């Protein structure tokens, strides 16, 4: 993907955010919601094809900045932060959304798979927070980590993913204590959020939910990416500056439901 030409830094009142894994699914919804709320947004993703398609959809937003970078590596983290600051001049929000999984049975799980999941899901958020912290402190900004209900409960063969999200949840409150009071840090833990229809064209699927899919949720439906995006907007809002170190579960009530066979 070609670099966008440099443009003037933000106006005095405009807020800026960096979103990882921003080109598809929940990340795409977060990027769009932030742009519509008046933020300038750097959408960071390693999938250049997905970023190009997003750029087609969001080209009318002056504050949209696509950045192709692989945050599994320190060089990708440095590139994402550098290009964001070069374009916007300051930073008010970091949304650690990028995640990968390895649904491999424990007996077959390789160390390489384990480390690849933790590199994106846990290590990258830590070092993105490190890189962004001085800039967020300057604006009294906030970090939102997109965690998962898998930090609290599991399905079979999710050891790497569940461990990474459990670690991210712990990292959230550790960062909140270390970076407070100038930077707030919170987590959002999605449950079943339907994203198959929010992928790039090559991966997009038509979605059909059964009545059972919907009604097993106390809320009566499967979640959509905008459910998470709205909470991210709330947590980035400086008016909510008494909220830090918290985890907000958005799962239609599923983790509050007792299920017996």
User: Over the stretch 151-164, which tens digit does the pLDDT of each residue have?
Assistant: 999 999 999 999 99
Looking at residue 144, its pLDDT comes to 99
Peptide bond into 94 cis (omega under 30): no
Q: Tens digits of per-residue pLDDT, 42-63? A: 999 999 999 999 999 999 999 9
Give the total number of structural domains in the chain.
1
Q: pLDDT at position 38, please?
A: 96
Query: Is residue 9 one of the residues assigned to a domain?
Result: no
Tell me the pLDDT tens digit for each residue of 137-151: 999 999 999 999 999
pLDDT, mean over the chain? 94
**Predicted local distance difference test score (pLDDT) of residue 10:** 66
pLDDT in tens, 170-182: 999 999 999 999 9
Residue 61 annotated as catalytic: no
Identify whether 144 is part of a domain. yes
Could you tell me the CATH number of the domain that includes residue 25? 3.40.50.720
**Torsion-angle region of 202 (φ positive above 0: left; ψ -120 to 50: alpha; else: beta):** alpha
Nearest alpha-carbon partner for 193 in 207, 179, 174 = 207
CB count within 10 Å of CB 8 equals 8
Cβ contacts of 261 within 8 Å, gap of 6 or more: none
CB–CB of 178/187 below 8 Å?
A: no
Q: Does residue 10 sit within a domain?
A: no
- Residue 63 falls inside a structural domain: yes
For residue 1, the model assigns a pLDDT of 59
Residue 121 contacts residue 172 (beta carbons within 8 Å): no
Indicate whether 5 belongs to any domain.
no
**Is residue 261 assigned to a domain?**
no
In tens, the pLDDT along 210-233 reads 999 999 999 999 999 999 999 999
Alpha-carbon gap, residue 97 to 170, rounded angstroms:
16
Structure tokens at 138: 């300057």
Say whether pLDDT at 3 is over 80. Answer: no
Most distant pair of Cα atoms in the chain: their distance: 60
Residue 7 within a domain: no
Distance CA 170, CA 149 (A): 13
Instruction: Check pLDDT > 70 for residue 41.
Output: yes
Name 237's Cβ contacts closer than 8 Å, sequence gap at least 6: none
| Domain range for 83 | 16-256
- Mean pLDDT across 247-252: 98
Comparing 227 with 4, the larger pLDDT belongs to 227
pLDDT of residue 261: 78
220 found inside a domain: yes
Average pLDDT over residues 121-134: 98
DSSP secondary structure of 56-107: HHHTT-TTEEEEE--TTSHHHHHHHHHHHHHHHS--SEEEE---------GG
């Amino acid at each position: 993907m070609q670099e966008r030409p440099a443009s003037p830094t933000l106006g005095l009142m405009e807020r800026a955010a960096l979103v990882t894994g921003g080109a598809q699914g929940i990340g795409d919804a977060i990027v769009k919601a932030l742009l519509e709320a008046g933020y300038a947004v750097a959408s960071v993703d390693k999938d250049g094809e997905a970023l190009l398609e997003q750029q087609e959809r969001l080209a009318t937003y002056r504050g949209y900045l696509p950045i192709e970078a692989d945050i599994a590596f320190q060089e990708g983290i440095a590139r994402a932060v550098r290009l964001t600051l070069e374009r916007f001049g300051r930073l008010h929000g970091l949304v650690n959304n990028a995640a990968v999984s390895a649904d491999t049975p424990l007996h077959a799980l390789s160390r390489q798979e384990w480390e690849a999941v933790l590199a994106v899901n846990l290590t990258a958020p830590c070092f993105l927070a490190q890189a962004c912290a001085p800039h967020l402190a300057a604006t009294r900004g906030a970090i939102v980590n997109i965690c998962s209900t898998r930090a609290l409960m599991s399905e079979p063969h999710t050891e790497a993913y569940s461990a990474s999200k459990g670690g991210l949840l712990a990292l959230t409150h550790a960062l909140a204590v270390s970076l407070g009071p100038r930077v707030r840090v919170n987590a959002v833990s999605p449950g079943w959020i339907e994203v198959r229809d929010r992928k790039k064209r090559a991966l997009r699927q038509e979605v059909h939910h059964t009545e059972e899919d919907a009604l097993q949720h106390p809320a009566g439906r499967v979640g959509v990416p905008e459910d998470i995006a709205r909470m991210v907007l709330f947590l980035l809002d400086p008016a909510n500056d008494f909220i830090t170190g918290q985890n907000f579960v958005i799962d239609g009530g599923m983790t509050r439901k007792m299920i017996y066979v």
